[in-house]
Amino acid sequence: MPPTPVQPTDTTATADQRTNPPPNPPEPVTVTPAFGPIPAIHIPKPSSTRTYTVRGTWRATVRAARTALRRTDQRNHD
């Protein structure tokens, strides 16, 4: 009996997978805690908030706040 020829293994996809694409993965299950769903926290963009001064940097805002505090502190000590 002659040996059966070895078929080359195709690593990309089988014939069944080519005709039928694999099914979509199951939807992720959202677990709601006992106290209700957690609302999404909306973090506003820095451009929309007035936290930053016209100069635009947080460092300038902190410096302006510190100098304003220092001025009021000096006024109170007079």
pLDDT for position 71: 80
Tens digit of pLDDT at every position of the chain (78 positions): 566 666 656 556 555 555 666 666 666 666 655 666 666 776 666 555 555 555 567 777 788 888 888 887 776 665
Residue 70 domain flag: yes
Residue 64 domain flag: yes
Rounded Cα gap, residues 24 and 13, in angstroms: 16
Residue 13 domain flag: no
Residue 78 domain flag: yes
pLDDT for position 68: 85
- The range of the structural domain enclosing residue 60 comes to 51-78
**Whole-model pTM over 0.75:** no
Q: Which residues neighbour 46 within 8 Å (Cβ) at sequence distance 6 or greater? A: 52
Scanning the structure block, which residue is given the tokens 């195709």?
Answer: 10
Total domains present in the chain: 1
Let me know the angle formed at the C-alpha of 31 by 26 and 32, rounded to the nearest 5 degrees.
145
The dihedrals phi and psi of 32, each to the nearest 5 degrees, come to: -90, 130
pLDDT for position 70: 83
